[in-house]
Amino acid sequence: MDKGNPMEDALRKIAEHCVEGGVLIFTGAGISAESGIPTFRGRGGLWEKYDPEKVATADAFRRDPSLYWRFFLDVRLPILKKVKPNPAHYAVTQLQKDGWVSAVVTQNIDGLHQAAGTEGVLELHGSTRRFLCTRCDFRCGLEEIDKILLESFPPVCERCGAVLRPDVVLFGEALPAGVLEAAFEAAQRSRIALSVGSSLVVYPAAFVPQHAQSFAIINLEPTPLDGAAVAVVRQKASVALPRLVEILKERR
Ligand code: OAD
């Protein structure tokens, strides 16, 4: 018996829910996995090797910022210096250019959507390409922090001497003011939210796709929200999203 093509069927179902300007793209670490950035959870995820309690909580950073900065230097910085967007990031940009997208909301802190040319990205968890002083208003980017790290560890502010931190949301901290609200508002205006490469277990971020009229999921592994999705595509983002771009082009 012909079982058809499950990815194709699910993508066509998603396409039926897509209206111009009504598709919210919600992304997680899985969309950047094929660029060589390890995910947090799932097979080979970062939290299997590193304890988030030690390197990713606000309390741990206050107690000993050098633990975070060691993790950043060993794991994050070498990858950030060389990563490039993959076909899934470019497909998101194409969907935006083709007029389908209401908003792109990401949990990712890698800046790859922007590098692929996507505009107006709402970064729920900040960015590891920006750094700020824990005391004054000094801010800097990746190149500068690289230089500062050669002179001080953990890196300190060249103006006031206080320790620097990444512009990311650590566990135990609130999401950036206004960004979560903007994401919820965009979701409420959207006909469908497409969650790509997220385990959908971290809240409040995971509420965002659930605020759209409907949501669909592209993810390699099951998520707790699969049962409520209009369609689930169990495929790599770099395969599924470019195909969705094609299917939506056919509909024009
Ligand atoms: P996770 O690491 O929790 O989940 C990534 C998901 O992507 C997994 O379920 C994988 O199965 C899936 N995946 C892996 N490769 C894929 C591919 N090529 N195509 C499609 N799916 C793939 O990442 P997030 O859901 O983003 O928080 O995690 C949410 C938050 O938890 C992160 O933003 C981070 C983390 O702690 C902060 O930094 C505050």
Tens of pLDDT along 149-171?
999 999 999 999 999 999 999 99
Q: How far is the CA of 199 from the centre of ligand 1 (A)?
A: 5
Q: Is the CB of 176 under 6 A from ligand 1?
A: no
CB 28 less than 6 A from any atom of ligand 1: yes
Between the CA of 229 and the centroid of ligand 1 the distance, in Å, is 18
pLDDT band per the 50, 70, 90 thresholds, residue 3 = low
Report the predicted TM-score, pTM, of the whole model to 2 decimal places.
0.96
From the CB of 208, is ligand 1 less than 6 Å away? no
Q: Mean pLDDT, the chain, as a whole number? A: 95
- Is-catalytic flag, 17? no
CB of 39 shorter than 6 A to ligand 1? yes
DSSP assignment of the chain, as one string? -----HHHHHHHHHHHH--TT-EEEEE-THHHHTTT---SSSTT-HHHHS-HHHHSBHHHHHH-HHHHHHHIIIIIHHHHHH----HHHHHHHHHHHTT-EEEEEE---S-HHHHTT--S-EETTEEEEEEEESSSS-EEEHHHHHHHHHH-SS-B-TTT-PBEEEEEPPBTSPPPTTHHHHHHHHHHT-SEEEEES--S-STTTTHHHHTSS-EEEE-SS--TTGGGSS-EE-S-HHHHHHHHHHHHHHT-
> How many angstroms separate the alpha carbon of residue 38 from the centre of ligand 1?
9
Q: What is the pLDDT of residues 33-86, one digit of tens each?
A: 999 999 999 888 989 888 889 889 999 999 999 999 999 999 899 999 999 999
The full set of domains in the chain, from first to last, is 1-36+83-125+174-252 (3.40.50.1220)
